[in-house]
Structure 1
Amino acid sequence: MAGHSKWANIKHKKAAQDAKRGRIFTRLIKEITVAARLGGGDINSNPRLRLAIDKAFEQNMPKDNVERAIKRGSGDLEGVNYEEIRYEGYGIGGAAVLVDCMTDNRIRTVADVRHAFAKYGGNLGTDGSVAFMFKHCGQLLFTPGTDENALMEAALEAGAEDVVDNGDDGIEVLTDPYEFIGVKAALEKAGFKAEFSEVTMKPTSESVLTGDDAARMQKMLDALENIDDVQEVYTTAVIDG
């Protein structure tokens, strides 16, 4: 993969997240609430909840906010009942897009998502139309120059599935989504702190977009990200430029 791609896209995503910290709190509270509702409020037996709480604390969310979200999800406090929905579609040049939502109004959400796709030249697809082009996994990215052999040894010992050297894009460690927290903790203990890490839907192939196509695709992704009911947006597109 060319050096311009993964690192630039990850940095753009990180910058966009930092700029929307208030929205991140809202999304994390939804995720904690739903995770607690589906799997219970005990982080030791609910890896999804543990991951959501770790993310919340990484974003410096107050502990009281986290505890209230757990109680709402567990039924100890009243709250909105969110429904999880995934929309699939196509962007510029046929690039695949997954949009994960949590909503209390499915009709509003699908209208907003469809509008964002259509406005910038994409279109909403059917269930299963692009999901097969992504893999649910944990992903940790380490800066170029990281000692690959030492990282690989530590990662595989910690239970990682794969270690990929992307050259100028750094080194990527991939894990089972439910082993992500343990692998991340083991690597940090071994002295390897990831520049960026998350449980994600990783594209199994990518398409590089340049010029006007890249600009239109970025606008579409930003429009989707800005929908209140959207939790995450994943794409096979690599924006170059």
Structure 2
Amino acid sequence: MSGHSKWASIKHSKGKADKQRSKVFSKLSKEISVAAKLGDKDPAMNPRLRSAIQAARSANMPKDNIERAIDKSSANNENNFENLRYEGFGPDKIAVIVEALTDNKNRTASNIRTIFQKSGGNLGTQGSASHNFNQLGIIKIDKKEISDEQIFELAIESGADECISHEDFHEIQCPMNEIYNVKKNLEKIIANFISTEIEWVPLNSA
């Protein structure tokens, strides 16, 4: 019985992991499809698509799945998806930006408004919160890859504006339209990256 119980436990654990992986792949696939639909299907010409593909590869998503997601960008079932931004304020008037990918903007707006209200905040208008942020290219590298001194010099030489060393990783900031040029320069020395993304960075983090 103990052997059977152990197998059942392993099977249950694997099934749960497979379900979670499938959920992640589905989300990544949708982002790839929409990125390809909104821009060029060539990753070299589409920064958002490049970022989505890199995220998929980091999650060990099969190459065939990625290619199918790009091909789906012209399919009818992707035509109604929109990339929307909501702005508002949370508790203590903290500025909040929410980016959502949706096929029903009325439902999503209602859900976002409810979340803000339940959290003690309120949903604002376009521009009400975003003026408190800069959109920057953010590249994160594990500190095991390179020392604080080396990464600072390399980041500046690669075209970055700033390099911040945290406890476990280095954070390189650059203009969002330069993120892939900066990363290409970094790749001459560094092989592994934690993430490469466009992020909203607060103007005042105090």
- Normalised to the residue count of structure 2, the TM-score between the two structures is 0.77
- Greater CA drift, 152-161 or 51-60: 152-161
Contact 2:134 2:200 in 1 (8 A): yes
Q: CA deviation at 1:152?
A: 2.0
The structure that is helix-richer by fraction is 2
Q: CA deviation at 1:131?
A: 0.6
In our comparison, the structure showing a higher alpha carbon Rg is 2
- Greater CA drift, 176-185 or 151-160: 176-185
Q: Specify the alignment match of 2:116 in structure 1.
A: 117
Q: CA deviation at 1:149?
A: 3.2
Q: CA deviation at 1:51?
A: 1.6
Q: Specify the alignment match of 2:76 in structure 1.
A: 78
* Structure 2: gaps (5+ residues): 1-19
Q: CA deviation at 1:24?
A: 3.7
Contact 1:51 1:181 in 2 (8 A): no
Mapping of residues 30-41 of structure 1, within 5 Å: 30-41=30-41
Look up the SS of the partner of 1:34 in the other structure: helix
Letter of the 1:28 counterpart: L
2:183 is aligned with 1:180: no
Contact 1:162 1:174 in 2 (8 A): yes
CA distance in 2, matches of 1:175, 1:147: 20
Q: Deviations over 1:77-136 (max 9, x none)?
A: 332320111000111111111110111111110111111111121111111000111111
Which structure would you say has the larger RCO, counting Cα contacts within 8 Å and 6 or more residues apart?
Answer: 1
Q: Deviations over 1:5-44 (max 9, x none)?
A: xxxxxxxxxxxxxxx6554433322221122112221112
| Identity among equivalent pairs (%) | 39
CA distance in 2, matches of 1:158, 1:30: 32
CA distance in 2, matches of 1:176, 1:21: 33
Q: Specify the alignment match of 1:128 in structure 2.
A: 127
CA distance in 1, matches of 2:162, 2:171: 8
Contact 1:187 1:193 in 2 (8 A): no
Instruction: Provide closer, same or farther for how the CA distance between residues 43 and 109 of structure 1 changes in structure 2, counting only shifts above 3 A.
Output: same
* Structure 1: gaps (5+ residues): 1-19, 208-241
Instruction: Provide closer, same or farther for how the CA distance between residues 179 and 126 of structure 1 changes in structure 2, counting only shifts above 3 A.
Output: same
Q: Deviations over 1:157-191 (max 9, x none)?
A: 2121222356x576431022233233234324314
Q: Specify the alignment match of 1:28 in structure 2.
A: 28
Contact 1:88 1:98 in 2 (8 A): yes
Instruction: Provide closer, same or farther for how the CA distance between residues 139 and 163 of structure 1 changes in structure 2, counting only shifts above 3 A.
Output: same
CA distance in 2, matches of 1:120, 1:34: 30
Mapping of residues 1-241 of structure 1, within 5 Å: 22-73=22-73, 75=74, 77-81=75-79, 82-142=81-141, 147-165=147-165, 171-191=170-190, 193-195=192-194, 197-206=196-205
Aligned length: 186
- Normalised to the residue count of structure 1, the TM-score between the two structures is 0.67
CA distance in 2, matches of 1:25, 1:133: 33
